[in-house]
Structures are given as C-alpha cells and as structure tokens.
Structure 1
Amino acid sequence: MWADPGGGRRVVLAHPSPDVYGSDLQLAESVRGLVEHGWLPTVVLPADGPLRPLLEERGAEVQVSDFPVLRRALLRPRPLAGLVLRAPATVWRLRRLLRASGARAVYVNTLTIPLWVVAARAAGLPVLCHSHEAERLARPARLALTAPLLLSDVVLANSASTREVLTSTLRRLARRVVVVHNGVPDPGPPAPPRVRGAGEELRLVVVSRLSPRKGIHVAVQAVALLHDQGLDVTLDVCGSTFPGYEWYERALRDQVGDLGLTDAVTFHGYVAPTRPLLEAADVVLVPSFGESFGNVAVEGMLAGRPVVASDVQGLAEVLEHGVSGVLVEPGSAPALAEAVAALDADPALAERLADAGRQRATSRFGVDRYRALVAFLVAQVAGDPVPVSAAPARPGSATAGSTPSRR
C-alpha cells in the first residue's frame, strides 16, 4: 500500500471529495507539481469517484478511507457536537494510517477536514493546509473551521481574500499564511469567437456547482430581463449539486418554467471538459455571491471569451474591471443583464476584454508557477534543504521566504 521506492519522499494528501470541481482540480495540479519535483504523493479520499483516475494519471497513489467532512449541514450545534464526540476515535485511526505511511509531510486540502490536521500533528508529522474557503460564516462556525490551522506549519491561501478571512478570524495565523493563486491549465489557443449573424441568439454560459451561493438563479433572472428588452439570449448551465442541495436544482428548473425560459435555458449536468461549451459561448457568467478565487473565471478568460463576474473576493483579484473583464454587483440580475447587453451592443469592447483576459490569465495563473511553488512549500515543511533562491517568482501578494513560524 505504501511502497516508497523514492528514498523517503512520500507525502500524504487528504482531500474531502471525489468529485472534479475547483478545489478538486487544484489538488490534481498540486499532485502534478509534487511528482515533477520528486515527491511520491498518496491521496486519501472519503469515497471513490471521478477524481481518482485523474489523480492516478498524474502519478498519485489513491486510497479511499472514510472520514468526516464539515459540510454546512454539520455546522449546527447538534451535528457538530456529534462530530466532536467521535473526533478522538477518528483522529486515532487517521494517526495510525499516517504513521504507517512513511510520509515526510501531510498536505490537507481545504478547511473542511480539520481532523486530518490534528491527526498529522498527533503522528508527529509536519502539515501544510491549503485553504480554498473565503466565506463569511457566523463567527462560531469560522472559529471551528479555522482553529485547527494553529496546528499547521504553513497555511496556503488561494487568494488575498482567503488570507484576510483567515487572519481576521485568528490573527495568530498571519505569520504562517502564504498566498498562492491557483494555477489553471491552458488547453491552448482558443477557437476564434463566432461571428453572429443578424438575429442570431447571444449565448451565455455558467459553469459551477448548483448551489445558492453560486448565484445561478441570478443568471436565470438576468436572462429573463434581457428577453424583456427584446434580446434573444440563451443560457447553458453546466454543473451538478452537492448531496443535500437537490432542492436548489429543482428550484432553478421551476424558476425557468415560471419565467417562460424553458427553450432558452439548458441544464447540462456535470460537464468535462468545459472548454467546448466555454468556446461555444459569447459571454461567460460567474454570478457567485462569494468566491475565494474563481477557477471558472480564469477558464473563461483562457477560452478567449469576455467574462462577467460578481465583484466579490477572489473574483476581484482574478479580473480587472473594464480591462480584462466586467465586475458587477453580486446578486443583482439588473446589473448582470446590463453588462451582458453592453457587450452585445459593442462587439469591439467584448473582443478587447477577451483578449486582455486571456493575456492576464496566461501570465498570472499558469500551472508551472503554481506546481513549482507547491513543491517548494512542501519541501520547506518537510525540512528538505531547499534554498530560498529556489523559490519561484510569484506575482502580487504571493511570497516565498523562510517557512512561517508556528510560534
């Protein structure tokens, strides 16, 4: 199970989901970077799913072992109390697993599996936690998610917004948090935007999990407003629900029916790869109420299409308003519709934004930089003699000096 032909460079990565969305795809890039720099990654998932073959293709060993994941449904007093009661037994089991692994370090991907941080420390192993969350939860919930990070040697935040949320919750984290923007793969030069004929519909696309926080209902309402203005607009919705959020998909379908948009809105379910649908669109929408980073926005930019996104958190770091995309008030269907109508009325503007967006995405959010930086930080945590000069250059707030102190 834990064969290590590489002379003790095993790293165990714990991840909360077997699906293939933003943080899941980022884990695949972390694995690729570790393999490229001589590490032997073993990823532990709570269930089997489509992420497993993706990780194995990138060189990881994948193990399935049941462990609790802090979904929103658990962040209530009674479920959370039950989790706390079961925590000692879970930590003991994960500690045994880690001790048997021969790992030099543990990489915990997201805040939603805090018992892995505790187990790593109990096993005497250095631990890096990668935070993809920037939600403004109630303070007790934020403390429950954030407090285990005090046991981490390094906290990798995927945006300055994520770092601010973490450090505003616990100021003591400031010295150990490093901002590393996501690296998003570029499939290559995009197909040219289509030339729309007279009277041909304007195609919009949303790619995301189906959950209220992602704001798909706002996009549907914006389509209705555009239809009221006499514009022929269609919307492709690509994504599936988290377990327990099936009600939201039903509500979206009811909304589409009630607004008379059945012929204009198409639900595709989970789609991979997304590039063909992004290229088929005229405008990419990211109407989220909150995003710690925004991989889909970058994917839309790489696809050479103008992106209209909510002016929130990480999305405001990904896009520069009026230069490489358009940022609008979150939750405002009129603002979203107005931005889309402006791009429809000014094809030259849409082309400029798309060109600048692709240039920004390739220069700031490339996978080579990301992979090298993750491997560098894991080496630091594990105590490998990696000189500071080996740290790759990083734009913006991402900096690599000595490993942040745990004291």
Structure 2
Amino acid sequence: MMPATVCFPFVGKLVGGSHISALGLIRKLDPQRFRPLILLQHGEGAIADLFAGAGLSCEVGPSTPPLEHGRPIGPATAFRLLSSTPRLARFLRQRGIGIVHCNDGRTLATWALPTKLAGARLFWHHRGSPNAAGLRFVAPVLADRVATVSRFAAPEPGWYSAASRTRIIPSPFDTQTRYDRDAARRAVLALLPGAGPETRVVAFSGALIDRKRPLLFVRAMAALRRQAPDRDIRGVMLGEALDDMLERVHALAAERGMDDRLHFLGFRTPGAQWLAGCDLLMVPAIDEPFGRTLVEAMLVGTPVVATASGGNVEAIRDEATGLLVPPEDPEALAAACLGLLSDPARRAAIADTARADAAERFGEAKHADAIMAQYSDLLTGLRTGDRTWAGALSGEGR
C-alpha cells in the first residue's frame, strides 16, 4: 500500500523554532506509512539550507504572496492570498496530498483555505499565543486537528472553539546531543574581549522580539552587576533582531553602563553548542508558549533560570530542573542567576536532573509517534480517487 503524502509548506527564508521542530518530526516519520513533501516558498536561504543539511529533499512550491514575519495581513495581501487559493488547491489535488501540516501563522494564512478546497486534511500546528486570532476565529472552521506545544498554548473550550480537536504535543528534540562543554566554553570566551577563566557567561537565546523580553535581560544583567560588582559576569545574546530591537538593546545597555558586559553575537548554529559554552541560560520571556532554547540548554547541561510564565512552567520543575522567578522582575532574575553561579554543586545537580528529565520527555521519536497517531486518525477512510490509505496507516504489510 502506498504511503500517505504529508505536505510541509514553509513561507519565508529565516529559520525559527518551528522549522527545527518540523525537521525533527520529518526525519522520524515511518516511511512505510507517510511520505513527506517539503515545500519551500524560496529555493535558497536558511530554511533550504536547514533541510538540505539534514539530507532531506525539498521542492519549490507554486508562487505565493510574500508575508512578513509579525506583520498584519492587509486587504491587498488578503486579496492576493484569496486569488491564489484555486491554484494552490489544484496543486495539492494533483500531487495527491492527504495532509497539509502547517507550522506557523504565515503558512496557515497561505495554505489553510487551499487545503480545505482540495479536500485534504489540515493539521494546524500551533506554537503561539492561545489568544492568536487564527486559533480563535479560523481554526474552529478550517482545522481538522490542532497540535499545541503546551497546555498554555491550547485554545479555551467553548461553543466556538477548536479545543475538542486539539492535542498537546511538546516539540521534539535530539536527545542524543552531546558537546564538549570545555571546548564550547572556549569558543564563547574567545568572542568576549577581556574574558578569562574566571568569567561567567549568562545567555539569552532567541529572536530579539518583545515577547522574549530582551530589554528585561539587559536590566537583569545590570542588576546582576550591582549585586556582584566584583565578579566578571557577562551576558551574551544569541539570535536575530527584528525591527528596531537591536538598537533599543544597545541604547539600554549604554544607559545602564553595560556596554562592556553585554555581547550581541547574532544567530549562531548549532544553537545548542553555543548554549553548552555558557554557564546559565536566562529566559525572561513572558507568555512564551514553549521555548526551544530552554530544553536545548537542559539537554546540554546548562542550567536555566526562567520567568514563571507561559509554557516555561510546564517545561521546568522549580528547584529541580531549573529555577522559576516572578515575571517582569530583573532583580529576581539576577538573584537567581547569582545564587546558581555561586554554588557549583547546586548548579551541577540541577543540570544533571534537567538533562535526564528533558531526554525522557522531549525525544524526537516520542513526538513523531504522537503526531503519526493523529495523522492516522485523520486519514482513516480518506480516499483519493479509488485509493484508500487505511492499510498503510495501520501498518499492514510491513
């Protein structure tokens, strides 16, 4: 029996956590039951490089309107999206697509309606706010199944809600990731002017956007300097800056006298390797549905200090696998970091517990099994022409 084709369309060129999570899923799909079709808006760029580097073949899909990350869709763009719907639906029908698995808002805006018009199943993978307009107003109509990365991100039940079709499935991670922490530390310190063996490094990792609170990180690092003025504690910021956030970060750092203690290193890959070179990861984000870097740090032995907000409280058990502090409190973040930096034994115990916990909960195989169960549920009995996928989905003939 032929495997069912699952289409993974991607919009844009920049790599985010959704692309890395999708990669972790795709490489664990059972090839006898599911055949992935990775569809890119652009043939070149970081997304194409990500999949090519993993040995996965991709195609450039039909032309679709450009959508900017974090920007609302205006009337003109909405009209172009609507106009492209019949053409995209025809493409899906011609390729015999059973499921379209969308991993972010821009992709859903582009492909959700064509999926329904083509008669395929729409798998809505939600990694954002539970109050997102698409999840609240569009998913109840168009989504055949919703997967959210945390309980926090799931829609509220109600008469008009996708809650009954929602499953909570944490993001996947390569739990076998291992790095030489000493070598990684040397690589980080080499980028910090004047750093030496006594330097301690606290990382911020992720896109520099308001929700992730990069400015709060600057304030917390300034508080840490006040609390431990005689110690060389540096902050490193790993990630792409959007809009004017980098300028705002630099301006606040200068205002707080932190120019010599904060280092913007930009997007670095593999991200987990750079986290392995740091002493701590600080996660000041508010209402973050599920932070990938938080779990990546746990897996490479870097303890985490995070705000008790959003999905952070689902990923971390306070005082066991990391530390949780009140949101929007730079002094509390600083004090928690200083406490761990001053107690190597406690830091090591938390790191060991966190690594084991993350490896048990967030493996790629576990994630893929959960997703494939949802695929099978969606596709049982679905027909394309005279062909049914029921046999392939159940694993018959393997």
Could you tell me the TM-score, scaled by structure 2's length? 0.84
Post-superposition Cα deviations, 1:36-70, rounded to whole Å, max 9, x if no partner, equal 45422122233342121332435343324334547
Structure 1 residue corresponding to 2:297, chosen from 296, 300, 317: 300
Deviation of 1:198 after TM superposition, in Å, equals 11
The corresponding residue for 1:156 is 147
- Partner of residue 53, structure 1: 49
Percent sequence identity is 23
Is 1:102 aligned to residue 102 of structure 2?
Answer: no
Instruction: Give the structure 2 partner of residue 126 of structure 1.
Output: 121
Choose from 329, 332, 356 the match for 1:332. 329
Secondary structure at 2:29 match in 1? helix
- Matching residue of 1:399: none
Cα distance, 1:324 vs structure 2 = 0.5
Once the two structures are superposed, residues 213-238 of structure 1 have per-residue CA deviations (whole angstroms, 9 ceiling, x without a partner) of: 11111111111111122132101111
Q: Which residue of 2 aligns with 1:257?
A: 254
Q: Could you say what secondary structure the match of 2:14 adopts?
A: coil
Matched, 1:181 2:170: yes
The match for 1:73 is 71
Q: Name the counterpart of 1:234.
A: 234
Residue ranges of structure 1 left out of the alignment (5+ in a row): 1-5, 391-407
- 1:15, CA displacement in angstroms? 2.5
Tell me, yes or no, if structure 1 residue 366 matches structure 2 residue 363: yes
Q: CA deviation at 1:150?
A: 2.4
| CA 1:53–1:388: 2 relative to 1, 3 Å | closer
Q: Which residue of 1 aligns with 2:161?
A: 172
Q: Secondary structure at the match of 2:129?
A: coil
Candidates 121, 138, 145, aligned match of 1:147: 138
1:117 correspondence with 2:115:
no
Q: Cα deviations across residues 335-357 of structure 1 (Å, max 9, x unaligned)? A: 11111111122222211111111
1:288 counterpart (285, 288, 292): 285
CA distance in structure 2 between the partners assigned to 1:149 and 1:15 by the alignment: 22
Counterpart position of 1:211:
209
2: CA distance, partners of 1:388 / 1:41: 14
Residues paired across the two proteins, number: 372
1:121: Cα distance to partner?
0.7
Tell me, in whole angstroms, the C-alpha distance in 2 between the residues paired with 1:355 and 1:223: 25
Change (3 A) 1:272 1:162: same
Q: 1:349 aligns with which of 328, 346, 350?
A: 346
CA distance in 2, matches of 1:60, 1:167: 38
Q: For the aligned residues, what is the CA RMSD?
A: 2.9
1:107–1:130 Cα contact (<8 Å) kept:
yes
Contact 1:111 1:145 in 2 (8 A): no
Unaligned stretches of 5+ residues in structure 2: 186-194, 381-388
SS in 1 for 2:156: helix
Distance change >3 Å, CA 377–CA 69, structure 1 → 2: farther
| Conserved? CA contact 2:179–2:276, under 8 Å | yes
Amino acid at match of 1:188: T
SS in 2 for 1:323: coil
